């Protein structure tokens, strides 16, 4: 079974990287360019919890696979030191997006539309500015996660290719 674990790790990283890139650079822009901002935002609010949760859950699954590999080969943690550090950063970032930043953004967005619906445009503009700041943080972390995923994928692929694992 251990010979399949590196393939599974690479597969999971590839799936998450592909999903992240397609959601960030294809799906979200298409949604906002073809639908009203409010409707597109509601759809994305439905997708993002699953997206962010998948990031940290896949990271934990990969940790588990590395732990299984380490039962047979004790030196694997040393060989994967930079990989494990980057994986840890990615997991914490996805957790922060899922459990802290996303709820704040959703709350601000809901407040914004409630104020607009109530005719309180001036107050809504203030909330929108707060939302933009949270969105900028979220977008930055998401881009960082995509870069980390690319590093993880290529790092692990070359370790397999060079028979370091």
At 80-111, the pLDDT tens digits run: 999 999 999 999 999 999 999 999 999 999 99
Please tell me what DSSP assigns to residue 36: -
- pLDDT for 164 equals 82
Confidence label for 1 from pLDDT (cuts 50, 70 and 90) = low
**Which of 47-56, 69-78, 92-101, 139-148 comes out lowest in average pLDDT?**
69-78
CA distance between the termini of the chain: 14
pLDDT tens-digit map of 105-145: 999 999 999 999 999 999 999 999 999 999 999 999 999 99
> Nearest to residue 152, comparing CAs of 1, 49, 11?
11
Mean pLDDT, residues 33-57: 96
Q: Is the pTM of this model over 0.75?
A: yes
Q: Smallest Cα–Cα separation from 143: which of 15, 13, 14, 21?
A: 21
* Alpha-carbon gap, residue 128 to 116, rounded angstroms: 10
pLDDT at 74 over 90: no
Residue 127 corresponds to which tokens in the numbers above? 């909330």
CA–CA dist 124, 131 (Å, integer): 10
pLDDT of residue 165 exceeding 80, the answer is: no
What is the pLDDT, as a whole number, of residue 2? 77
How would DSSP label each residue in 40-61?
HHHHHHHHHHHHHHHHHHHHHH
Q: Is 56 in contact with 95 (CB distance < 8 Å)?
A: yes
Q: Compute the average pLDDT of residues 151-164.
A: 93
Q: What is the mean pLDDT of residues 25-40?
A: 96
- Say if CB 16 and CB 151 are below 8 A apart: no
Domain residue extents for the chain: 5-161
């Amino acid at each position: 079974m251990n010979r399949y674990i590196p393939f599974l790790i690479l597969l999971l990283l590839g799936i998450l990287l592909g999903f992240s890139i397609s959601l960030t650079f294809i799906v979200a822009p298409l949604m906002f360019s073809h639908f009203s901002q409010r409707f597109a935002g509601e759809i994305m609010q439905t997708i993002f919890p699953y997206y962010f949760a998948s990031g940290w859950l896949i990271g934990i699954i990969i940790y588990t696979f590395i732990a299984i590999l380490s039962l047979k080969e004790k030196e694997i943690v040393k060989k994967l030191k930079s990989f494990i550090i980057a994986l840890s950063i990615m997991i914490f970032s996805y957790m922060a997006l899922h459990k802290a930043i996303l709820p704040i953004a959703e709350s601000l967005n809901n407040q914004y539309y409630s104020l607009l619906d109530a005719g309180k445009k001036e107050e809504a503009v203030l909330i929108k500015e707060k939302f933009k700041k949270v969105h900028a943080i979220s977008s930055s972390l998401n881009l960082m996660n995509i870069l980390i995923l690319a590093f993880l994928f290529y790092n692990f692929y070359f370790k397999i290719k060079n028979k370091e694992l």
